[in-house]
Amino acid sequence: MALLRDELSCSICLNVYTDPVMLNCGHNFCQECIGRALDTNNGSRTYTCPECRAEFQQRPVLLRNLKLCNIIQHLQEASRKKLQHSLLDLTTKIETTERKVESLKEQKSKIQETSDALRNGINSFFKVIIKEMKTMRKAVLSEISRKKGHALMKVSKSIQELEIKKDELSRKIRETQEMLRVADPITVLRQAPEIEDRRHPGDSEAIYLDETPINFIIKKCLSSMIGTLSELINEIPCPKSSDILLDVATACNYILVSRDRKSATHISVDQGYLDRPERFMACQVLSTCSFSSGRHYWEVDVNKAKEWIIGVAHHNMDRKTLANNAYIGYNDKSWGLEYRYCLSDNRYCLSAHHNDVTEEVTFNFPVDLLGVYLNYDSGLISFYQLGDPIRHLYSFSATFTESLHAAFYVFPDSCIKIR
């Protein structure tokens, strides 16, 4: 290309020829460039070629180089078309970029709206709980105060009666002491104070704060609160667990599906399943149900699986091959989360796959129970490690155009179970 440019460039302006003309010596120049150069020779006896210095006694006639003109014309045309194509390509790209920006702005707005709605919902949720707790606290404290007042009143009354009794006994003690000084026994016997009932006020019953009614009130308030919480829980828009059953017709010959069609085990004995178009050659199995809209959720127990791939797949995923792109997540028809032992790192690794694109997932905790959430309409597939606490592992974002099945790859010496 550089060589071609040199051949098509004017030696005066060093640019591609414009209206190329030729001197008798055979050299080409832009018509305007050679015209200015020859003008500088006016008044002198000879004219010279700016390139080879050939001399002409008269101002040379400029011959239009038709062949070169055509070449130059085809070259500006090619250049123009290339620029137009580039301009169109750039315009398309900027329009695509603008659409992506708008889409991201919409997602940002939706995230903000969802966050605000969740925040408001949580605030309302806990306002109800706090109100119930305050009501319960008020009722319990009121009952405690009432019981305390009643018990203290009884104690005060008993104390008052005992004080009166004490004063009366003190008086009789003084009278008795006076009688001891009387010499006349008959008088003493006649006037000696009689000892009354030895029972004292307050001896008939123990006075204490009875906790039983308070406990009844607490229990009643808690029962009411549990009922309120149950109503609130039912109002939370969580997807119910989908009834996922394994489709034996899709199971590889080395996968044993349980009678309840909830678990799949890799075994070394060929099950001799009938060869069907929908049956996998790879050790995979799909769910009987498919999803083409809405929100869905299911849980998979992988505690007895040394390695696994869990995900979703289109119905038309290739099934009659053992090539790498036949596995869940390794093609454009499926999305999968894979747990495998990495020999290079000498450890278990977690990775997300779609269309043979792999992304490592960081984790430092055992994954025994997996939660899978599918929002078909929003194009979202999320995986969670279920435990205390629940941890988000990975999410795929896609645009679904076909129905999806829950999909499972079962490795040797492994078993997965749908809960």
Lowest mean pLDDT among 39-53, 173-187, 291-305, 388-402: 173-187
Q: Note whether 251 and 264 are within 8 A (CB).
A: yes
pTM of the model: 0.55
Taking only the tens place, the pLDDT of each residue in 257-280 is 999 999 999 999 999 999 899 999
Task: Identify the CA nearest to 280 among candidates 333, 244, 242, 243.
Answer: 333
CATH 2.60.120.920 region(s) of the chain?
Answer: 248-418
Strand 284-286 with 55-56, pairing: unpaired
* pLDDT attached to residue 245: 96
Average pLDDT for 327-349: 91
C-alpha 391: how far from its chain's center?
9
Of 332 and 223, more confident: 332
Average pLDDT, the chain: 86
Taking only the tens place, the pLDDT of each residue in 90-105 is 998 999 899 889 988 9
CATH 3.30.40.10 region(s) of the chain?
Answer: 2-64
Q: Which residues contact 61 (CB under 8 A, 6 or more apart)?
A: 24
* pLDDT attached to residue 94: 92
Taking only the tens place, the pLDDT of each residue in 124-162 is 878 888 888 888 888 888 888 888 888 888 888 888 988
Average pLDDT for 400-404: 93
Helix 212-235 to helix 66-180 angle, to the nearest 10 degrees? 170
* pLDDT attached to residue 409: 97
* pLDDT attached to residue 328: 95
* pLDDT attached to residue 287: 97
Question: How would residue 352 be classed by pLDDT, with cut points 50, 70 and 90?
Answer: very high
Q: What share of the chain is helix, strand, coil (3-state, %, to 5)?
A: 40, 25, 35
- Rounded to whole angstroms, the Cα distance separating 419 from 415 reads 13
Taking only the tens place, the pLDDT of each residue in 158-213 is 889 889 988 988 988 888 888 777 656 666 666 656 655 555 554 556 677 777 77
Q: Which residues contact 301 (CB under 8 A, 6 or more apart)?
A: 368, 369, 370, 416, 417, 418, 419
Residue 232 reports pLDDT greater than 80: no
Question: How would residue 66 be classed by pLDDT, with cut points 50, 70 and 90?
Answer: confident
Lowest mean pLDDT among 140-154, 246-260, 283-297: 140-154
Question: How would residue 42 be classed by pLDDT, with cut points 50, 70 and 90?
Answer: confident
Please state the CATH superfamily assignment of the domain spanning residues 248-418 in this structure: SPRY domain (2.60.120.920)
Q: Which residue has the tokens 């890799």?
A: 266
- Rounded to whole angstroms, the Cα distance separating 161 from 171 reads 15
CATH 3.30.40.10 correct for 2-64 = yes
